[in-house]
Structure 1
Amino acid sequence: MIDFRYHVVSIVAVFLALTVGLVIGSSYLSKVAYDELNNQLSSLRGQNQTLHSTQNELNAQVRDRDSLIAALGPDAVAGKLTGHSVAVVMLPGADGSAGDAMADLLGKAGAEVTGEVSLKSALLDPGQAGKLSAAAAKLPAAERGGAQLPSPSSSASSAPPSPVIALADIAGAVVHRIPATPAGVGEQTITDQASQDVLTAYSNAGFLDVKSASASSADLVVVLAPPAPSSGSAANDAADTLYLGFLKDLTGGGRSLGAVLAGPASSAASPGLLAAALKDNWVSKNVSTADTADQPSGRIITVFALAEAAGGKTGHYGLTGTADGPLPDLH
């Protein structure tokens, strides 16, 4: 006769068997899962090491390529700018060492480098507006070539903001000339002493650095742009507007001087300055651009673009898929 105790014992035995089975089974499955995860981890480590090795090889190739291009650079540009004088201007945030390397290559291309001028970010600081206006006010007409400055290109206002006036002053001093005005006043030459006085005044006020400056004027100018900011902003757009107006002031409205705006690869994409230049109707037609100018290849491209600008032509060159290819054909 099967009593209640028998059923209880049977049920307990069944659950005990299930528990033992689950423990044994889970232990086995855990080991299988662990082994699988360990194998995947080992595989990923191997892939990571392979990728690191590949990256190191590619980095070495890039270094060797840049070293080769840098070594061949002087021969590639030799004589391209003989008889020309070039001013080098670095906008706020541009790499100073890239400016020095550019000036060195320009000299090897046969150009006379008339000066290296670095603009400082204080020029665009609203908190420095009073100081900037005071520096501009200290420059009489006599130190601007004997005539009043024209209305700056970057503003149609009868009372343009201080950075606009300052950039127009600096542009005239860098190239020793004031562009013709829309009112019909012709281009005016600024004396060598007046040029020095303007640059000294703004330098003493903390708005620019002058590494070198000669008494001769320039017939070509290269302006070095900073890297692009991580994202666009109203402040960045306002700075771009000022810089593009500065380019127009430097070139005499496109009539008297060839110019190249050069910058790192990032500046060729929005919100970079080179990208903004290509979107500007006037600048894109009158000022050449060259990207990757922080690298030896980009500096060679810049020299070729300057040589083309000396002949009255403009183009947009570089290694980021530019409209006119890597560099102009000067043959």
Structure 2
Amino acid sequence: MISYRQHVVSLVAVFLALAAGVVLGGGPLSDLGRDDSATAADTLDAGDQRTLAFAEQFAATAAPQLYDGGLRQRSVALLTAPGVDEEAVTGLTAQIEAAGSSVAGRYDLGTELLSGSSKTLVDTLGTQLVEQVESGLVDAEATTYVRIGQLLGRAVASTGRPERPGSDAETVRQSLVAAELVTASDEDARLAPLVLLVLGEDAEPTVLAGLVSGLATTATGVVVAGDAASAANGDLADLREDPAATQVTTVDGVETVLGQVSAVLALVREIDGTGGSFGASGEAGPVPLG
């Protein structure tokens, strides 16, 4: 017998796929993000606007039933890159709460970290921290940005339930903040089992891949999310070309409610470590269901 939740899952999958096609894929906005002069108002006709508005409203309304409390007792560490869309971050936070969870702490990654412009600082700090924390906590032989990704993960994430940061986590967190590589909204925030990294713009591909690879070894699950432009020819597109992407789940289209719901469904899915690439440009499909 088909359950109510199964009906919701099927319907949301249809609407996410439909709206993704209208907004981000083969529809009239397939090139949006490539041309800064293009806007949704310029390229959508009245019918497409109604379809998109209905799909967005449907996703927002159905999301709590679809989540089914899937993030309950599993908080999320929110990492944001320079140039991130704050409206998307607000929407993602609301969807995390709708899934029964909360943001344990927000950490803004500095331009000097993601641009690769301060590699000497990052390398020196990483070497020093490896010597200060418990032996084996971080791979001392890892490359500069994989190592700093592991350290960042130790500062914000856990592989179990949410927990208070120990002395090693506090040391790393305070050092990253003092070096102005990271800004923390709450330096006493609990470690979270799930990490959501929201991309902005102009991250150095090798730096981003190293950070993501390092983070993936220190958390129960990691989701990397970006907007349509990032997936078309930006940071998310670059990451998806790197082997590091196979260690996490990637989601595009987070400037829309549809993409935000998909990102939170990906967090739920990451609890079991399933991974995949989702969204209008995702190889695994428009939305991580099942």
Query: Judging changes above 3 Å, is the alpha-carbon distance between structure 1 residues 278 and 53 closer, same or farther for their aligned structure 2 residues?
Result: closer
**Alignment partner, residue 206 of structure 1:** 180
Deviation at 1:130, TM superposition (A): 5.3
Correspondent of 2:228 among 257, 260, 265: 265
Q: Which residue of 2 aligns with 1:225?
A: 199
Q: Is the 8 A contact 1:250 1:257 kept in 2?
A: no
Distance, in Å, in 2 between the alignment partners of 1:224 and 1:175 is 16
Q: Give, in whole Å, the separation in 2 of the partners of 1:257 and 1:53.
A: 40
Hey, what's the Cα distance between the residues in 1 that align with 2:60 and 2:54?
Answer: 10
Percent of pairs identical after alignment?
A: 23
**Cα offset, 1:174, TM superposition:** 1.7
SS of alignment partner, residue 80 of structure 1: coil
Shift of 1:54: 7.1
User: Is the contact between residue 80 and residue 303 of structure 1 (CA under 8 Å) also seen in structure 2?
Assistant: no
Return the match for 2:171 from 188, 197, 208.
197
Following TM superposition, by how much is the alpha carbon of 1:197 offset from its aligned partner in structure 2, in angstroms?
Answer: 3.2
Paired letter, 2:184: V
In structure 1, the residue matched to 2:240 is 278
1:72-83 paired onto structure 2 within 5 Å: 72-83=62-73
Deviations 1:202-252 (A, max 9, x none): 22332222124655332222211225x6xxxxxx6xx11221121121121
Distance 1:103 1:309 in 2: 17
* Amino acid paired to 2:85: D
Cα shift at 1:282: 4.8
Matches within 5 A, 1:78-157: 78-124=68-114, 128-129=118-119, 132=122, 136=126, 139=129, 141-142=131-132, 144-145=133-134, 149-151=138-140, 153=142, 155=143
Name the aligned partner's letter for residue 258 of structure 1: G
1:171 to 137, 147, 153: 153
Of structures 1 and 2, the one with the larger relative CO (CA 8 A, separation 6+) is 2
Answer yes or no: is 1:303 the counterpart of 2:285. Answer: no
Gapped regions of structure 2 (runs ≥ 5): 1-40
Query: Cα RMSD (Å) of the superposition?
Result: 3.5
SS in 2 for 1:116: strand
CA offset digits 1:266-291 (Å, max 9, x no partner): 2222x33333333333532x311111
Among candidates 194, 215, 219, match of residue 250 of structure 1: 215
Distance 2:164 2:217 in 1: 13
SS of the counterpart of 1:325?
coil
Cα distance between partner residues in 1 of 2:220 and 2:181: 24
User: Which runs of 5 or more residues in structure 1 are unaligned?
Assistant: 1-50, 178-188, 230-235
CA gap of 1:62–1:311, structure 2 versus 1, over 3 A, is same
1:130-167 Cα deviation digits (max 9, x unpaired): 5556655764734x3455731465x3xxxx4xx55544
Q: Residue 146 and residue 251 in structure 1: after superposition, are their counterparts in 2 closer, same or farther (change >3 A)?
A: same
- The total of aligned residue pairs comes to 247
Amino acid at match of 1:194: D
> Compared with structure 1, are the counterparts of its residues 201 and 281 closer, same or farther at alpha carbon in structure 2 (3 Å cutoff)?
closer
| TM-score (norm. length: structure 1) | 0.62
